Amino acid sequence: MAQYQLPSDFFFGAAMSGPQTEGQWNQGGKLENLWDTWSIQDLGSFYNCVGSYAGNDFMTKYQEDFRILKDLGLDTYRTSIQWSRLLDADGNLNEEGAAWYHELFRASREAGLEPFVNLYHFDMPTYLFNRGGWESREVVEAYAHYADVAFHEFGQEIKYWFTFNEPIVEPEQRYQEGVWFPQLHDFSRARTVQYHISLAHALAVANYRRAYDEGVIRADAKIGMINCFTPVYTKQNSSEADLEAVRMTSGISNRWWLDLITKGELPADVLDSLAEGGVKLPFRAGDQEILKQGVVDWLGCNYYHPTRVQAPASKIDQYGLPHFADEYVWPDAVMNESRGWEIYPQGLYDFGMDCAKNYPDLEWFVSENGIGIMDEYKNRDAEGTIQDDYRVDFVRQHLEWVAKQSPRAPSAADTIIGPSSITGLGQMPLRTVTVLSRSTLWTATSAALRSRQLGSSRSPRPTWLTSDRANAQTVRRRAQHMAHLVAEATGHRAYRKRPDLKVRSNHGQ
């Protein structure tokens, strides 16, 4: 039975966002954003017809939520400022919105919680979307202005800033796959949006650096980006065409952002292949200088599942758009049927190994990871507690892969081929998170993986589980169960029983 010891110097926290939790969607001078617009136009698209209106009523219940977080032994949480709440339609500060965030951050400090603040969580103001959204340079500049206002307004209150959460998701879900309002299917427009988000990120980082130099930002502050990374795999006996599918899939979803935040540039091979496929990005003179300013202090990595691809049967999809890869169904995959997502803890490790090899100076942490299951209320026992041992197993397995270590250096094959080709990694300073938010329980494993100090690393992403107010005890018991699990692995002060507790594996690895 293998034993893995995780470090004790980790932050233990929660992850949420403004549009998903705050509520009060049209109060206090808040403008309509795209989630509000979608809710108004088609409420039936939302689970239980909840829409964006109520969130978790966080603006009313934030102090109670903070007490719950502290009761669990947490000391950090991530949320986001809503662009549509902070600024009015002329780009001026909305004093009521600013007052809410000042109060939120004050209450955070009072509760002993360090807020990690993200500036964008898929929540564009609708009036800006109607003026072109991320397809418009005007909106790129409007975002840079919004970020600058936020830095100046809260610069002495916030230590950890992030420009975007999962910037790859909006191009895919809103413009490419037709999932989010307004359900578009246009690969080329999606890449334009991705490119403009990259410019917006870089401009925001430049504004942050300028504000920092002016003394507006506190001296110990850091800025980063958060993205969902899905390590890309193909068949064990792969062809050149399969490997090409891996290159482009990883290039668009993973390397694009990693190159931007570490090198201040986009991967040239991906840009060349897009151009060869007929995708014309809206390059302008001076863009390269803008992108160079996009290098950050650290990265937040959300990890939930890997991506498995193979050579496409056709290079054009059903909409006549470029198509670089088909899905590969690995016969040994373990699936979360509720999401259609593969459960593959090693993917977190593999991401870190890739970072250690290709981005050795990158400091990163796991900002989201977890498992969401539909209809979990059916798993209640006689006392009303939801029995979710599968969630404990999920977190434990991911922690084990993070804690593994090996002197073996990674090879090129490690990062792209085979379902189980990685067998070891170097030590990684790890931080772990179990997340609870009012009517939403969200488990996430959050790790600070400093590749420059170690020999490797790799990373994860979260899920939601709704429960009504009557289920508060169930939610609390479950979250405390998770907290104790992590405490065993780390000796975290809130639950420390003895310093030699370890995570144990029954798999003999």
> CA-to-CA distance for 12 and 486, rounded, in angstroms?
9
Find the catalytic residue in 22, 244, 342, 368.
368
SS (H, E, C) 280-308: CCCCCCCHHHHHHHHCCCEEEEECCCCEE
> CA-to-CA distance for 325 and 143, rounded, in angstroms?
33
Dihedral of the alpha carbons of 209, 210, 214, 219, in degrees to the nearest 10: -10
16-28 CB burial, b ≥16 within 10 A, e <16: bbbbbbbbbbeeb
The β-bridge relationship of strands 503-504 and 3-4 is: antiparallel
Neighbouring-strand partners of residue 87: 93
Find the catalytic residue in 22, 135, 153, 166.
166
DSSP 15-36: E--HHHH---TTSTTPPPBHHH
Phi, psi of 163 (to 5 degrees): -75, -45
SS (H, E, C) 416-462: HECCCCCCCCCCCCCCCCEEEECCEEEECCCCEEEHHHCCCCCCCCC
Q: At what angle do helices 95-111 and 137-154 cross, to 10 degrees?
A: 50
Q: How far is CA 82 from CA 25, 63, 121, 170, in A?
A: 10, 19, 8, 16
Known active-site residue 166: yes
> CA-to-CA distance for 266 and 273, rounded, in angstroms?
13
Give the other-Cβ count within 10 Å of 457's Cβ.
34
Identify the three-state secondary structure at position 145.
helix
Cβ(230)–Cβ(414) below 8 Å: no
SS (H, E, C) 54-97: CCCCHHHHHHHHHHHHHHCCCCEEEEECCHHHHECCCCCECHHH
Handedness of CA 368, 371, 376, 382 (dihedral sign): negative
Q: How far is CA 420 from CA 55, 250, 350, 355, in A?
A: 40, 18, 10, 18
Residues carrying an active site annotation? 166, 368
